[in-house]
Amino acid sequence: MSLNPPLSFKKDKDSKSELQDISLTKEDPLQNLCLASQEVLQKAQQSGRAKCLKCGGSRMFYCYTCYIPVETVPVEQIPVVKMQEIYSGGIKLPLKIDIIKHPHETDGKSTAAHAKLLAPEDVNLYTYPCIPEYEERKHEIVLVFPGPNSVSIEDISLHLHKHSPSNVLYSSENDRPEKLPNKRQKMEVEENGDAKDSSKRDSALLKKVVFIDSTWNQTHKIIADERLQGLLQVELKTRKTCFWRHQKGKPDTFLSTIEAIYYFLVDYHTAILKEKYKGQYDNLMFFYSFMYQLIKNAKSSARKQQENNIINL
């Protein structure tokens, strides 16, 4: 199957087949992404599975255990979301990301590997029950997970302020404690224009975001782990999934791991950093959007074949 860039996503308005799927019946939310050329993935897809240069495993596009592209996908043609001139359009993520993976989560089905491949310096993966110690830095970390006590991204700063040390604000540059100015000092400095604006002060509070990589039915043990208790939970209530393995019976606001990471960063960029979003993190969806289109095309072809078989009966 060959794809020619730019990818074209169209809504199938005429289909009434039982093979209808979320990716066929809804407008595609990925069509306006600012992505690096996916020609390298097109060529690799035509060549079929290839060998991982590290472990020797047979993979398509990348190795999901070593987090490197396969031999038919030159690493220099894969966008890296970091600040480095040799990578076109690269930008460093504003936050560190931890992904806690369920031990029974199938590596080949997980999208967590996409984040590690595309932002290797800012993303760390852990397999449960291996979880970092967050106790002493809970005021700088949030956990993205839906729940009765979860808050929106817009409310993160308010809640982190409540849990931060009363007389310390950590600098985003050197992580050293600085005394908070009193109200009069704060007003004077802001009037003189010598201080960072409030949005930058708020953004300095948050340093890391934690995501859980698991089927929704397997998350209970991880989310109940005492090491995650006390972390502020954040829910992406307005984003909807287009994952091809969306679990039956779950709301469409339950996102795949890479979707959750991407949408969190986009919303953080606009709501907390107060900056206009210009596609800075879109390449996190580099593999996801390509696979989405492949699977959508395959399902469309299967549906058409089924309809032709019915017509020819």
Q: Which pLDDT score is estimated for 179? A: 43
Q: Which pLDDT score is estimated for 11? A: 37
β-pairing, 68-69 with 141-144?
unpaired
- Give per-residue burial for 205-222: e unless 16+ CB within 10 Å, then b: bbbbbbbbbbeeeebeeb
Query: Alpha helices, DSSP H only, in the chain?
Result: 22-25, 39-47, 112-118, 156-163, 183-192, 198-205, 219-223, 257-271, 286-311
Q: What is the Cα–Cα distance from 64 to 49, expressed in whole angstroms?
A: 13
Q: Which pLDDT score is estimated for 304? A: 64
Q: What is the Cα–Cα distance from 51 to 60, expressed in whole angstroms?
A: 8
Q: Which pLDDT score is estimated for 16? A: 34
Q: Which pLDDT score is estimated for 181? A: 45
Q: What is the Cα–Cα distance from 240 to 162, expressed in whole angstroms?
A: 30
pLDDT tens across the length of the chain (313 residues)? 333 333 333 333 333 333 334 444 456 778 889 999 999 999 999 999 999 999 999 999 999 999 999 999 999 999 987 543 333 445 579 999 999 999 998 898 899 999 999 999 999 999 999 999 998 889 899 999 998 999 999 999 888 877 666 544 444 444 444 444 444 444 444 444 444 455 555 556 899 999 999 988 888 899 999 999 999 999 999 999 998 887 777 788 889 999 999 999 999 999 999 999 999 999 999 999 999 999 988 877 776 666 555 555 5
Chain Cα centroid distance, residue 20 = 26
Q: Which pLDDT score is estimated for 124? A: 97
Place of tokens 């590690």: 116
Amino acid code (one letter) for 17: S
Q: Is residue 85 left, alpha or beta, with left meaning phi > 0 and alpha meaning psi from -120 to 50?
A: alpha
Q: Which pLDDT score is estimated for 91? A: 58
Q: Which pLDDT score is estimated for 170? A: 43
Map out the domains of the chain as residue ranges: 34-78, 85-162+204-312
Q: Is residue 89 left, alpha or beta, with left meaning phi > 0 and alpha meaning psi from -120 to 50?
A: left
Q: Which helix (H) or strand (E) element contains residue 210?
A: strand 208-213
Distance in Å from the first CA to the final CA of the chain:
28
**Cα 214-219-223 angle, rounded to 5 deg:** 125
User: What secondary structure letter does DSSP report for 99?
Assistant: E
And the tokens for 124?
């760390």
The DSSP code sequence of 140-163 is GEEEE---TT-B-GGGHHHHHHHH
12: which residues sit within 8 A by CB, 6+ positions away?
24, 25, 300
